[in-house]
Structure 1
Amino acid sequence: MTDLVEKTLHSKTIFEGKVIDLRVDTVELPNGETSTREIVKHPGAVAVIALTDEGKLVLVQQYRKPLEKLLFEIPAGKLDPGEALETCALRELEEETGYRCRSIEHVVSFYTSPGFSDELIHIYFTDTLIRGERHLDEDEFLENYEVDLQEALQLLKEKKIDDAKTVYAVQYLQMQQ
């Protein structure tokens, strides 16, 4: 088998932000040539597929500036430094929706865009919700919705759900039926 590994020759951080860092690496390719790779460093995130007692999927709708549009999404957020995955999932669920839960289970983890980012998102599931109060971040503006599977599929068809984690959530629920 051919060695496909790219050896890093030089690495330079060109931006350090609140959410991401951007690095440019010079790499040696398997054929001996060199190239550059622009890499987004991300702390990782969690998302929660949350079902109400009525079997409705809890969604948040928020404006996503990079896309210049409103999206319906499952509750999610980035990991704080040193934070446990389950702790983050429970925190984000309550902050964004006001729901707490009696139990939560890990479903899957996946890289969102491995061609340029190391962001790893961890998806959790719960159907043991307890209503509480939302605690949005000061720069966070969103609306809560609860939809059944057919409504979620319609939002998918209308491209109002088109981020990977929420598309995955809808397909996951479809497979559970």
Structure 2
Amino acid sequence: MERDAAKAPAPRVAVVLFLLKDKSVLLGRRRSSVGDSTFALPGGHLEFGESFEECAARELREESGSGDKQNGIPNSYK
């Protein structure tokens, strides 16, 4: 059985942030049709040409208003 390449979905990569401080972790409350009002870790999909760290910093800015655009995520692991 052959698959039509034009109809095949493109693979997507997700990045999730675990932001820890002492015994606390950053969570956000979802506002969408999927899992509305549940808590989730910040994160999202990697854009073409973007590094994992750039994606994490962008998602943190988008979802929480935090994060340094120039320096990315402090103490991040690569």
TM-score by length of 1: 0.35
> Does the aligned pair in 2 maintain the 1:64–1:71 contact within 8 Å?
no
Which runs of 5 or more residues in structure 1 are unaligned?
1-8, 15-22, 24-39, 107-177
- Which of 77, 82, 91 is 2:58 aligned to? 91
Q: Gaps spanning 5+ residues in structure 2: where?
A: 68-72
Distance of aligned partners of 1:63 and 1:42 in 2 relative to their CA distance in 1, 3 Å threshold: farther
Superposition misfits of 4+ residues, deviation over 6 angstroms: none
2:49 pairs with 1:82 = yes
Cα gap change, 1:89 to 1:83, in 2 (>3 Å): same
Computed over aligned residues only, the root mean square deviation of the Cα atoms, in angstroms, reads 2.1
The amino acid across from 2:40 in the alignment is E
Q: Return the structure number with greater strand share.
A: 1
Letter in 2 for 1:48: L
Taking structure 2 as the reference length, what is the TM-score of the superposition? Answer: 0.70
- Pairs aligned (count): 72
Q: Is the 8 A contact 1:43 1:81 kept in 2?
A: no
Q: Percent identity?
A: 26
Q: Is the 8 A contact 1:51 1:57 kept in 2?
A: yes
Alignment partner of 1:55 is 2:47:
no
Partner of 2:2: 10
Cα offset, 1:99, TM superposition: 2.7
